[in-house]
Amino acid sequence: WGKAMNIIDTLKHDTIGVNLFAFFLFIALQLFMLTQEWGSIALVLYFFFMLLFLGPTHFIHPNSFIFGYYFLWLVCPAVVDWFFYLSDWTFILPWGRLWEWDTLDPYTLVQIQFTMTTLLMVVRFTCGKKVGFIAKANFNNTRSDFARLPRTTLINIVIWVLVIYFIQASGGLGTWISDYSRTYLTGRAGLGLVNVTIIALGAFSILLAGLRNFGRRGGIWGVMPLLPLIMAMGFVGGFKSRLLILLIFFFLPYLFVLRISIWRILKYTIGFFGLLYVLTLVRSQGFYSGAARFLELIPSYFNVFPLHDLIVVREAPNVLTTAHFPFVRIGQTLGLVGESAEYDVSIMLTKEYFPDQWYLMSATQQWPLETELYLNYYGVVGQVIPLSIYGLWISILFKAVVLKQNWRLYPILALELFRIISTMRGVLIPWTFPILVIQYLAIYGLSVLYLPRYGSDKA
């Protein structure tokens, strides 16, 4: 790796050399991707090419989340499925090899590549690459301000009350423990407002506690008093993803100032998959125990791009097919639109392609952002404009906190950074958009009470 980085550093100082290298590598990858089986592996190599040249220097940067998304939903499943293919793997799970990454349509691969490139380049050239979390001149003053932030004891009490009520109203603790997956999928009906309130208050409380711990130099042990609350919110919020996000929220300030290195990437990746394995065991009640079963889970769980390939193969690109969906749910709430009207792309497509999952378990498959772009902006033809607008929004918000140190926007920035993953696995404007706006307004109101606007302000 050291030799490779030396070559890259040399090329960066040789404009002609780097241009030639990039050009020939791109042509070779494109030819392989468009003409051969396993074009997805060429796309994986393109991902690492982009990482070398456009990767950020710090862990917390919008492009870190974009790279993280494509690593999980492109690199991991494609490489694991390739390994299964090369090793003539004998499957343990009853459904075997659900998705064939070797046969993805060339259009699917090109659209994934175009989406990835557009977002990474817009953010890179708007945000910059070497933006740090705290300007060095203000670092000590800012950190001392964080140390004096007030505790959120009252908010935490409200969260505990809501969590207990949520568990009781959705079937009781016994039901959750005996059949967690089904209760999580079907038992929460009618409790959306409570769930949204828990998410908003919980995110704000943990984020503020994390800033306070960072200011006091509390380190990893600072999270211990909050672990019961984090576990409770993770339990009712899906456990696997929610628990991870809340833990990352607490340690977010440390990640902002932490520079990226190969060793750290490897260490955190191993830690992430280790924790994911444990949480998957809890969520599935031990069904995926064992390395082989967990490995087989990866291509079947991180399956958004094979799902998109179904649409590309069976349907033609279109214009504004589902763009009205965010307004449908509002119309249904007001009684202006019928209850049978579609309002969510993934629900609509799950009903069409996997009807049993929806009608028997109210579960959905999750289609990626590329599907919305394919159905609404004619795919690669028109998607650059909405993608650029989204990239600019994230960049502006990031710079408002990072450069202008507007700490009242810090909780919203944290939520939006992690919502990049949801957006990439969904749509640019979801049907929950009005709820998000209300959430963000409430969180900003709490931020005005608890946080100074600028890091140099006195608390």
* Single-letter amino acid, residue 275: L
Is 396 within 8 Å of 374 (Cβ atoms)? Answer: no
Q: Which residues pair with 454 in a beta bridge?
A: 406
Name the phi and psi angles at 67, rounded to 5: -60, -40
Is 145 within 8 Å of 452 (Cβ atoms)? Answer: yes
Residues whose CB falls within 8 Å of the CB of residue 31, separated by 6 or more in sequence, listed in order? none
Distance of CA 30 to the CA centre of its chain: 27
Half-sphere exposure of 383 (CA within 13 A, CB side): 25
**Nearest residue to 146 (alpha-carbon basis) of 222, 54, 228, 202:** 222
pLDDT by residue for the chain (459 residues), tens only, comes to 555 556 556 655 556 666 677 778 788 888 999 988 899 999 999 999 899 888 888 888 999 999 999 999 999 999 999 999 999 999 998 888 889 999 999 999 999 999 999 999 999 888 865 555 554 445 556 777 888 888 999 999 999 999 999 989 888 888 888 877 777 777 777 778 888 899 999 999 999 999 999 888 888 888 999 999 999 998 888 766 788 889 999 999 888 878 888 888 898 899 888 888 887 887 777 888 888 999 999 999 999 999 999 999 999 999 999 999 989 988 888 888 888 889 999 999 999 999 988 888 778 999 999 999 999 999 999 999 999 999 999 999 998 888 777 889 999 999 999 999 999 999 999 998 988 999 999 999 999 998 876 544 443
Tokens of 96: 């075997």
Half-sphere exposure of 96 (CA within 13 A, CB side): 6
CA angle (294 as vertex; 185, 243 as ends), nearest 5 = 50
**Nearest residue to 118 (alpha-carbon basis) of 323, 375, 319, 383:** 383
Angle at which helices 262-283 and 240-250 cross, to 10°: 140
As a whole number of angstroms, the distance between CA 339 and CA 250 comes to: 40
Q: Where are the beta strands (DSSP E) in 249-377?
A: none
The overall pTM is greater than 0.75: yes
* Single-letter amino acid, residue 216: R
In Å, what is the CA distance from 252 to each residue of 59, 80, 111, 329, 350? 10, 30, 32, 34, 35
